[in-house]
Amino acid sequence: MRRRASLVLLAFAVFFLAMAPTLRWYAFPRLAKIPPNQYQETVLEAKPATLLNYTTFKSEKVEKLTIVQTLKGDVEASKRIERDAGRDVVVWDALSYVIGPDGKMVSKVPERYIFDAHTQDPVHATGESVDGDQVRREGIEFKWPFLTEKRDYQYFDAQTRTSAPIHYQGTRTFHGLDVYYFEQTIPWTKVPMPKSMPVKGITPEVLAKTGLTRWYTTKRMFWVDPVTGAPVNGEEIHKEELRGARALMGQDTLTVFEGHVKMRDDYIAYVVDMVKSNRLMVLMLVSYLPWSFTLLALVLLALSLWLEARSRRPVTATGPDRGPDPGPVPVTVPV
């Protein structure tokens, strides 16, 4: 009976010992992925800011500028691209919508971002674009990979339509989470005019005829949860200029926008709560369950060996218990 129990425990020990690496190295890369139907909205603000008034063509100080960023998954497009790509694909339609202090649109820049649902590597397919212009992304955008590493990554900049390194700057604590801090600085670069302008009749083509060119620089900062790869906070110190304006305005440059853009506090709290929930599921696959299964397997193996040793212990041959020895029995000899 002990030997049979020992074999059962040994079988369970082998099973759990095999499951530990299977969860980490086989199940996790296949189960951890971005859902194709995800929707997320983030509100950022620059308080105060400098903004170009397109009716007077003068730069003015404003109390606040608001940027609403939305990410919406296109499930049908994902399925269509997956058939050709042969892997799980996510298609995000992103929109950066800038609102002035009067509540009116300043600019809007749509994007279509196509990437691998598991690794976040870009997937190049028809429709990959920024503001209607076809692009070919390299590196990441919006999100880091699961289990983010302490290293630099290539990060796509939508304004310049190019990728550049975003540098790992160390580990920090943010709202109770240990996060990785990244920085990227884009030097002054000539960039396209937005196709949607705030004043009717003013188009990129009209501005181009005047000789105006648009230039941009930014310092981009992200606080990234290393487990899920999701940024829990993002900021930019951003500046845009129109150059070549002397013939039109009597000066070389006009500031289009300048400000320190930060996520609004209520959206930071929402993102942090969401990340804390999602990171638990990732940690279950990469850490909690594999280590628990390994420990359980060792306990079962030790118990199995102990029972096996007990079953092999020699049994002392003793007769049935007859009680204490009564001593010599007297014999009666008949006379």
Residues 245-288: tens digit of each pLDDT: 766 666 788 899 999 999 999 999 999 999 999 999 999 999 99
Residue-level pLDDT at 74: 96
* Token pair listed for 96: 């950066």
Confidence of residue 325 (pLDDT cuts 50, 70, 90): low
Radius of gyration of the chain (CA): 34
The DSSP code for 166 is E
Q: Which residues contact 73 (CB under 8 A, 6 or more apart)?
A: 35, 36, 37, 38, 39, 90, 91, 92, 93
User: What share of the chain has pLDDT > 70, as a percent?
Assistant: 90
Q: How far, in Å, are 97, 278, 322 from residue 32 at the CA level?
A: 31, 10, 70
Q: Where are the beta strands (DSSP E) in 175-295?
A: 177-191, 213-224, 231-243, 253-263
Query: How many other CB atoms sit within 10 Å of the CB of residue 190?
Result: 10
Residue-level pLDDT at 145: 96
Q: What does pLDDT average to over the chain?
A: 89
Residue-level pLDDT at 331: 47
Round to the nearest angstrom and report the end-to-end CA distance of the chain: 60
Residue-level pLDDT at 252: 80
Confidence of residue 2 (pLDDT cuts 50, 70, 90): low
Q: Are 226 and 179 in contact (CB under 8 A)?
A: yes
Angstrom distance (rounded) from CA 85 to CA 75: 15
Report pLDDT digits (tens) over 150-175.
999 999 999 999 999 999 999 999 99
Q: Are 144 and 231 in contact (CB under 8 A)?
A: yes
Angstrom distance (rounded) from CA 37 to CA 84: 19
Q: Is residue 292 helix, strand or coil? A: helix
Q: Which of 92, 90, 93 is nearest to 119 (CA)?
A: 90
**Backbone φ and ψ of 179, nearest 5°:** -125, 160
* Token pair listed for 106: 């300043």
Report pLDDT digits (tens) over 105-120.
999 999 999 999 999 9
Confidence of residue 185 (pLDDT cuts 50, 70, 90): very high
More confident residue, 204 or 128: 128
Angstrom distance (rounded) from CA 49 to CA 12: 64
Angstrom distance (rounded) from CA 290 to CA 14: 13
Of 57-61, 166-170, 196-200, 229-233, minimum mean pLDDT range:
196-200
Confidence of residue 205 (pLDDT cuts 50, 70, 90): confident
Confidence of residue 10 (pLDDT cuts 50, 70, 90): confident
pTM above 0.75, yes or no: yes
Query: How many other CB atoms sit within 10 Å of the CB of residue 265?
Result: 9
Q: Which of 108, 99, 133 is nearest to 261 (CA)?
A: 99
Report pLDDT digits (tens) over 141-152.
999 999 999 999
Q: Which residues contact 178 (CB under 8 A, 6 or more apart)?
A: 171, 172, 226
Q: Are 154 and 139 in contact (CB under 8 A)?
A: yes
* Token pair listed for 126: 């028809």
Q: Which residues contact 25 (CB under 8 A, 6 or more apart)?
A: none
Question: Residues 259, 262, 265, 266: is their CA dihedral positive or negative?
Answer: positive
Give alpha helix (H) positions in the chain.
Answer: 2-22, 28-31, 75-85, 204-209, 246-249, 265-283, 289-311
Residue-level pLDDT at 250: 64
Angstrom distance (rounded) from CA 218 to CA 228: 26
